[in-house]
Chain A
Amino acid sequence: MSQSSIDLPPKGGFSFDLCKRNDMLTQKGLKAPSFLKTGTTIVGLIFKDGVILGADTRATEGPIVADKNCEKIHYMAPNIYCCGAGTAADTEAVTDMVSSQLRLHRYQTGQDSRVITALTLLKKHLFGYQGHVSAALVLGGVDITGPHLHTIYPHGSTDTLPFATMGSGSLAAMSVFEAKYKEGLTRDEGIKLVAEAICSGIFNDLGSGSNVDICVITKGHKEYLRNYMEPNPRTYVSSKGYSFTKKTEVLLTKITPLSERVEIVEVAGEAMEE
């Protein structure tokens, strides 16, 4: 039995190997590539029978709107959904990963997933990467212990709240919540308040825009209302439709097979390498 080297399992968490190289490159004047951010307004609130999540649908790359109608409310489990703000790739990847982990866990335990399970898996991952995974999440769901709403910050800290907002439009949305939230809202009141908060973000924050997505989760039932509100339609669309005059004309319909015009020479030994 060899005793020379013990094979250690690969350690998780962030590998800082390339940081020195990146530092050197930025000092030499190389600009780091920008990320596709979701510059966002995401909100959640707890109402009488469960949780309502809301999000806008604009994804930005610096000053440009990269996606006018992206989906920021991610599926985690049949009874748990998660809104994501920050770097789009990070929110997508981290929610997908935890969603798979939850499914495997459901197969193993034979029970419905709980919101704190998703919470713990997410915060463990984000803390391990020390904030470099730039995902700010609003996690909501209804499980056997009741409705839950949590916020998760990129560095891994979490809050448990009756109403929450994240993203660049969070202050605009939070001002609506702080002024109007009450306990024991009905489903329609809750949806109206969430839509109002997202609209506040859409119209007062430049990083948020386009449409409102809503997801209502209650015990044993969920409703994903994609594009619940579309307060930014295209303004001037011609009712006649668009027609473009034909600028090309057919001159000739005679077909000349090219092999008659071309000499094909077989060159041995220089065929394309496989």
Chain B
Amino acid sequence: MTFTVPIDNGDSVRIAEEESQRTLYPYVTGTSIVAIKYKDGVLMASDMGGSYGSTLRYKNIERVKAIGKHSLLGASGEISDFQEILRYLDELTLNDNMWDDGNSLGPKEIHNYLTRVMYNRRNKLNPLWNTLVLGGVKNGKSYLGMVSMIGVSFEDDHVATGFGNHLARPILRDEWHADLSFEDGVKLLEKCMRVLLYRDRSAINKLQIAKITEEGVTVSQPYSLKTFWEFSSFHNPTAGAEGSW
């Protein structure tokens, strides 16, 4: 049984002729994903928005999905490419199950597969326009890694994509430590997601936090964060500077 790898036929030839045969820019995009390793596994947070340029078109997109028994995949970037990647992973896990040998694909294997797919597509100048976050637990070991649309891939204790790189990473670098409890982990993720909500224009106040442990995957129901707007200078911002704004 051949192991299928998705490839595009003759793309390099057609590129010269038809620009419409490759991805030039993304259309419907998801914003940041923030994920951390904690005591029992991995926690991943994302909001549920899909922007169409500067319009908030879709408000119910699940950007974190379970893959097999051991992994969680979160994606930011083009939503249609994310759906395509989920299809590839479906095919992959199906073929793996058909061997029927008791083995199941762990997070490390899935991460490696995704790295090859992303890098391969990038080399054909036809990328899948996503930054993917792969988290999972297998045989007691937690794993958290990231792959970008150009094939840059690495593992870390905490990752963030998109705007999260600039706004969430400083907080995670300062406040993450090994063996966080579940409550502390969620509090840390919510802190990051709140800052993103204030300062990322494509973020919405409807988020999901997904947890993966040795037992399996749980994706929370969508909920909102509390925000604070009651600073006294917000009430009357031009108190000392009449005529300005």
Contacts and interface: CB of A to CB of B under 8 A. Distances in A.
Interface in A77-134: 115-116, 119-120
Interface in A173-201: 174-176, 178-179, 183, 200
Residue with the greatest number of chain A CB neighbours at <10 A, chosen from B170, B171, B198, B237: B170
Interface in A130-160: 145-146, 148, 150, 158-160
Interface residues of A, number: 25
A63 B210 CA distance: 40
Contacts of A179: 171, 191, 194-195
A148 B242 CA distance: 12
Given A158-B245, A159-B245, A160-B233, A178 B170 contact: no
Interface size class of B (residues with CB under 8 A): 20 to 34
A171 interface: yes
Contacts of A46: 233
Interface string B204-245: 000000000000000000000000000111100111111011
Contacts of A161: 233, 237
Most interface-central of A115, A162, A178, A203 (chain B CB within 10 A): A178
A204 interface: yes
A204 B169 contact: yes
B109 interface: no
A145 B240 contact: yes
B141 to A, nearest CB: 29
| Secondary structure of the A contact surface, majority rule | helix
B170 A162 contact: no
B232 A183 contact: yes
A161 B174 CA distance: 26
A176 B167 CA distance: 9
B199 interface: yes
Interface in B155-210: 166-171, 173-174, 191-192, 194-195, 198-199
Given A46-B233, A159-B245, A160-B233, A176 B240 contact: no
Given A161-B233, A179-B171, A171 B166 contact: yes
A178 B194 contact: yes
A172 interface: yes
B91 to A, nearest CB: 39
A171 B199 CA distance: 9
B78 to A, nearest CB: 23
Q: Which of A116, A161, A175 has the most CB of B within 10 A?
A: A175
A115 B238 CA distance: 12
Contacts of B245: 158-160
A178 B198 contact: yes
A160 B169 contact: no
A145 B191 CA distance: 35
Nearest to A176: B170
A176 B240 CA distance: 26
Contacts of A174: 167, 195, 199
A161 B191 CA distance: 22
Given A178-B199, A183-B232, A160 B170 contact: no
Contacts of A178: 194-195, 198-199
Contact of B167 (A148, A160, A171): A171
A145 B242 CA distance: 12
Contact of A119 (B232, B234, B241): B241
A201 B189 CA distance: 20
Nearest to B236: A160
Given A160-B233, A162-B231, A175 B170 contact: yes
26 contacts: A116-B242, A119-B241, A120-B244, A148-B240, A158-B244, A160-B233, A160-B237, A160-B241, A160-B244, A160-B245, A162-B231, A162-B232, A162-B233, A162-B234, A171-B166, A171-B167, A172-B166, A172-B169, A174-B195, A175-B192, A175-B199, A176-B171, A178-B194, A179-B194, A179-B195, A204-B166
Interface of A: 46, 115-116, 119-120, 145-146, 148, 150, 158-162, 171-172, 174-176, 178-179, 183, 200, 203-204
A-B interface, 9 closest residue pairs, ranked by CB to CB distance from nearest: A171-B166, A162-B233, A172-B170, A175-B167, A200-B170, A178-B195, A116-B241, A204-B170, A175-B195
Given A150-B244, A158-B241, A161-B237, 15 more contacts: A116-B240, A116-B241, A116-B242, A119-B244, A145-B240, A159-B245, A160-B237, A160-B245, A162-B231, A171-B199, A175-B170, A178-B195, A179-B191, A179-B195, A203-B170
